[in-house]
Structure formats: C-alpha cells, structure tokens
Structure 1
Amino acid sequence: MPELPEVEVTRRSFAEAIEGATVMQARLGKPLRWPLGREPQSLVGARVGAAQRRGKYLWLPLSLAGQGGGGLLLHLGMSGSLAFTAHIPEPGVHDHFDLLTDRGLLRLHDPRRFGAVVWSDSLHVEPAVKLLAGLGMEPFDPRFDGAHLHAGLRGRSVAVKLALLAGDIVVGAGNIYACEALFLAGIDPRLPARKLSRPRAERLANAVRGVLARALEAGGTTLRDFRDAHGVAGSFQMQAQVYGREGEPCFTCGTPIRRIAQGQRSTFFCPSCQKK
C-alpha cells in the first residue's frame, strides 16, 4: 500500500508539470471506492492549480470559469499509482481515471480499485472535510514533537506500534516506517502506548521524522509495484534495518530479527535493541 512517502514522492513527480495546465478531457473507467460526484466532462476547460497532500490524500485544485473553484481529492488505495505522461496511450483494463491536459495526461492505475477520485467544492466542505476528518498531525509540522506524541498516547492500552498505525496522532507512520522508527528509537513495538515515557516519546517523534525524511530522499519504498508519476521506483527498502529481515542478524547487535503479527500486520523488530 502506498504510504505517505510514496504519495508525497508521487505528488512531487507531477505537481510542477501540471500546475497551470488546462483540462482538455476527463475519462472515468470502472467505479472506484466512491463516486466522482460530477460528470467527468464538466471538468473540461478547468485550470489546474498547485497539487497538495494531506496524509495519504492528494488534492488537485481546479478552477472552472464561471463556476468557481473546487478540486479533485485522490487516494491511491491499496495498489493505485498515478502516471503523468506527454504520450496518450489507450487505457488498459486497470486504468480507471484520466485527466488529459494541454501539458500531458494524468492517469490513475489501480488493479484492486480501492483508490478514489472525488470532486469537492473545497477542502473545507463535504465530502473532503469528512474524508480528511480524524487525520493526525503531519510528521514534518513543527508542532509535532515528543510532547504531542506523548499526549496522544496517554491512556491508550494498545501496543505503541498499533497506536502509530492508527494515524490520528500523526499521519505517515505506516507499517514499514513504524517498524523502522521504533527500531531507531529503541522501543519494543509491543509496549503499551500509555507506558511510553516523555523522553522516549521525544526519541520516537524524532525517529518518525527521520525515517520518513530518508524515505522521501530515497523516492519511497518499492516492495512490489510502486512507481512515481514517471515510472521511477523507490529504494528505501534497501535501507531497512528491520522490516522484511526476519531471522537475519541485527545490524547493531547481531541478534536475529523477529517477526510477529500485530493487528493483522507483520511487525519486525530486534528483541535485544528494542526495550519495553
């Protein structure tokens, strides 16, 4: 599943090229998770604004002459990807949304169709406001620190890793990145969230930011089929300290990396370096 780094890498790979473009045609293929909310052809003539990201959602503003503004809220779901190309290939069976502009074609490819393209008149009205409700703080927001994380974890009896994955304290710490951040902070993923001390919460907040920053620099993680809008794969998986390394020696202490299941997701950790 594309996580925050992959979504941000995708945004960066097409945002500059499409900003200021004029929509020439729009096409909707098979139904996605939610309906578009307006006829695709009603987008023709719209001018594209600066693409933004909130959590794992992308917001593509569109200005429609005589109709005011609005935009498309996009989500890549479990297996989706966006491509931006000057060529206009015929859509394949898994190509479910096209936005053809005078700068190129933005296409959503989504084999499992858990992704979404939804029209909203702004980010502050339905349906956008409902879809974005409950999202935690952005990890690179200056306000995200140990104090914020500690306050969010207080009173939660679930394991600290599951609290990170919930996304209502901080967005972006998906399964891979939560495993890596907890290793970097030296925290056992099974530790009850409420037992994390303020100093350890500070270390974990720093680790979350550090891991996500490195993932962005590496172009995200490509375990199967993630590519940015120009078809370039990510390489963060080559830097993983624990994720996907069950039975292999810890790079720090040599202890074999363990894998357990938490919330139906695989958790990888070093039982010696990470303490409860």
Structure 2
Amino acid sequence: MPELPEVETTLQGIRPHLEGRVLRGVDVREARLRWPVSEALYALKDCPVLGLKRRAKYLLIQLAEGQLLIHLGMSGTLRVVEAGTPLRKHDHVDLRLDDGKVLRFNDPRRFGTVLFQAGAADHPLLEKLGPEPLGDDFTGERLFDRSRGRKVAVKSFIMDNATVVGVGNIYAQESLFLAGIHPSRAAGRVSRERYDRLAEAIKAVLAKAIEAGGTTLRDFTRADGQPGYFAQSLRVYGRAGQPCIQCKTVLKADRHGQRSTSYCPQCQR
C-alpha cells in the first residue's frame, strides 16, 4: 500500500501539471471504487485548479467549487498523459485538463477512491485526523500525553491516524528501530524521553523516504513512472531472520494488527 512518502512523491510529481490549469471535465469508466465516485464529479466542468496539497494519505485538488479527494488505496497510481493515450486495464477515472493532458487514475484492486466535496468545509473523512508527522505540532510530548494508560502496542499506537497521520507499517517499523523501542511495548509504558526520540525518528525516516522518492513496493511507481529507492535503506522491514545492521543479532518478527513486524530483540527494548 502506498504510504505517506509515496503519496507525497505523487503530489510533487503531478503538481506542476495541474496547478494553474483548468479542469475541463471528468471521465469515469468505473465508479465502483472503495467508495462510489461522487455524483457531483460528473458535473464538474471548466473549473480552475487553485492548488494541490496532501492531508494524511489523501491528495487534495482544490477547485473554486470545492475540492477533489483522491486516495490511492492499496494499488492506485496517478499518471499525467496526453489525451488520447491508449487506456490500460484498470484506468478508471480521467481528469481532463485545458492543455490537452489528462490526470489518469489507475487502480487494479479498486480500494482507492475519487471524491468531491463542495464548498470550503473539510470532507468528513478528514475531520478526525491527527497531526501531520512532519509538522511542528507533532512532538514527543503529544505522543506521551496521548499514550498515558494505553495498553495497546506502541507500534499500533503510532499507526493510529488519530495519534498521527501517515505512519504506516513500513515506516512505523523503521522509526521504532531508530528510536530503540520494541514494537510490542505498551504505549503507556514508554517514557517521555523515549517518545521524544520516537517523534524525531518518525520525522527523519519519513523525510528521508520522501527525498528518496518513496519505498519501492510491488504495486507502486512514482508519477513519472520510476520506482522509489528508499527500499535500499530499510533497516528492519522485511528482514526478519537476517542479522541486525547494528549488532548482528538475528532479527525477529511479531504480528500487530494482522501485520508482520520485524525488530531487533537486542537493540529494541
């Protein structure tokens, strides 16, 4: 599943092609996505594109009439192509621009979505999200305060979008390793000092992944069609049974929320 760095990389890839353009119309070939394509989408015509931004894993295209929300789901991708480019299988939605180009949404598994929210209010999907991990309001103090009395594993705690958005499976494992925290430790049993380290680790890991273009996953390529390269720098994710890069102890794996979690039993406590 594309995580926050992959979504941010996609945003950076498509932004120059959309900002300042006019959305001439929308073509929907498959409306049965994770949530059905918004009916209002069909009526959009000649709408100036005011800007693009990201909130958690949602791409937001701001129009004078409201905003488009795009979520890539597990296998979604966006490409900017010339109008008339032959369709590929699973090309579900086209946003037609005034320069003859098209923003094309492809999603084999159909767990992504394209929605429209009229007006200036946030979409209900965005209302209860926690802070952005790279923002100034995401701190170790916030993690510490929200974790008091919580028995849930710290890995699951930081993957909760109400705690902080966009820290998915890969980057949670990498951040916990960098901070030296065992992923199964109860969130309420992590000290303030260690949460300070964890917050900084999350920021560092995500910033490095964005700079590298995201993590190479089976289903993800960047908007320019090239894979990301952060996977070459992974320290624990997917490496259970291999030696730790720091202490050479064999990495182990547990499961949290139905997902495998690799960690070092020596370096992470």
TM-score range, shorter chain: over 0.9
Deviation (angstroms), 1:192: 0.2
Relative to 1, partners in 2 of residues 1:135 and 1:40: Cα closer, same or farther, differing over 3 Å?
A: closer
Aligned with 2:118 (options 101, 118, 121): 121
SS in 2 for 1:261: strand
Residues 44-65 of structure 1: per-residue CA shift (max 9 Å, x gap): 21111211110001110123xx
SS in 2 for 1:247: coil
Aligned with 1:91 (options 87, 94, 104): 87
Distance 2:120 2:257 in 1: 31
1:42 — aligned with what? 43
Conserved 8 A contact 1:33-1:114:
yes
Q: Which segments of structure 1 move beyond 4 Å, counting only runs of 4 or more?
A: none
Matched, 1:80 2:81: no
TM-score by length of 2: 0.95
Q: Which amino acid is the alignment partner of residue 78 of structure 1?
A: M
SS in 2 for 1:119: strand
Conserved 8 A contact 1:16-1:50:
no
Q: Tell me whether 42-51 or 84-93 shows the greater mean CA deviation.
A: 84-93
Deviation (angstroms), 1:41: 4.4
Aligned with 1:206 (options 192, 200, 222): 200
Matched, 1:158 2:155: no
Distance 2:48 2:135 in 1: 29
SS in 1 for 2:200: helix
Q: Which amino acid is the alignment partner of residue 133 of structure 1?
A: E
2:131 — aligned with what? 137
Q: Which amino acid is the alignment partner of residue 57 of structure 1?
A: Y
Deviation (angstroms), 1:85: 2.2
Conserved 8 A contact 2:33-2:111:
yes
Distance 1:208 1:262 in 2: 18
Deviation (angstroms), 1:123: 5.3
Aligned with 2:106 (options 89, 100, 109): 109
Q: Number of residues paired by the alignment?
A: 267
SS in 2 for 1:166: coil
Deviation (angstroms), 1:32: 1.2
Residues 184-228 of structure 1: per-residue CA shift (max 9 Å, x gap): 000000100000100000000000000000100110011202112
Matched, 1:168 2:172: no
Distance 1:41 1:171 in 2: 30
Distance 2:26 2:66 in 1: 16
1:236 — aligned with what? 230
Q: Which amino acid is the alignment partner of residue 36 of structure 2?
A: P
TM-score by length of 1: 0.93
Deviation (angstroms), 1:93: 2.9
Distance 2:120 2:35 in 1: 17
Residues 233-256 of structure 1: per-residue CA shift (max 9 Å, x gap): 111111000011111111100001
Gaps of 5+ in 1: 64-68
Distance 1:28 1:122 in 2: 22
Q: Which amino acid is the alignment partner of residue 108 of structure 1?
A: F
Relative to 1, partners in 2 of residues 1:156 and 1:221: Cα closer, same or farther, differing over 3 Å?
A: same
Distance 2:147 2:5 in 1: 23
Conserved 8 A contact 1:85-1:230:
no
2:2 — aligned with what? 2
Sequence identity of aligned pairs in percent?
46
1:66 — aligned with what? none
Q: Which amino acid is the alignment partner of residue 194 of structure 2?
A: R
Matched, 1:249 2:246: no
Distance 2:174 2:24 in 1: 43
Conserved 8 A contact 1:185-1:207:
yes
SS in 1 for 2:201: helix
Relative to 1, partners in 2 of residues 1:269 and 1:122: Cα closer, same or farther, differing over 3 Å?
A: farther
